[in-house]
Amino acid sequence: MTGITYIESPNGDKTHIVLDLGLYGKALQKFLEDLEDIETIKKTEGEEMLTLSEAIDELAKQGKVSKKDLQKMANELLPCWYQ
């Protein structure tokens, strides 16, 4: 396969891979980012989840940012999700 080289151990086992980043760099980066996302999901499995509204309420209770400002940020960042 063009742009991919396998490196083998002395007994013939494939141990490493060399990829042409010009050909596969973007796809490889996306793949690695997806793997990181999967690991994050696995690590947080079973943790308490909050809706966006609940998270805004909780952050507002902490008093660092007003509920109005949090709702404004949510509307600007996620206009189709937060109504």
The dihedral built from the CA positions of residue 37, 42, 48 and 49, taken in this order, carries a sign that is: positive
This prediction's pTM: 0.52
Burial class (CB in 10 A: 0-12, 13-18, 19+), 56: buried
Q: H-type helices in 1-83, by residue range?
A: 21-44, 52-62, 67-77
User: What is the reported pLDDT for 12?
Assistant: 96
Residue 78 confidence (pLDDT)? 77
Say if residues 56 and 70 touch (Cβ distance below 8 Å).
yes
Amino acid 1: pLDDT: 64
Residues in the chain predicted with pLDDT less than 70, given as ranges, are: 1, 79-83
Tell me the pLDDT of the chain averaged across its residues: 89
> Would you say 50 and 58 are in contact if contact means Cβ atoms under 8 Å apart?
yes
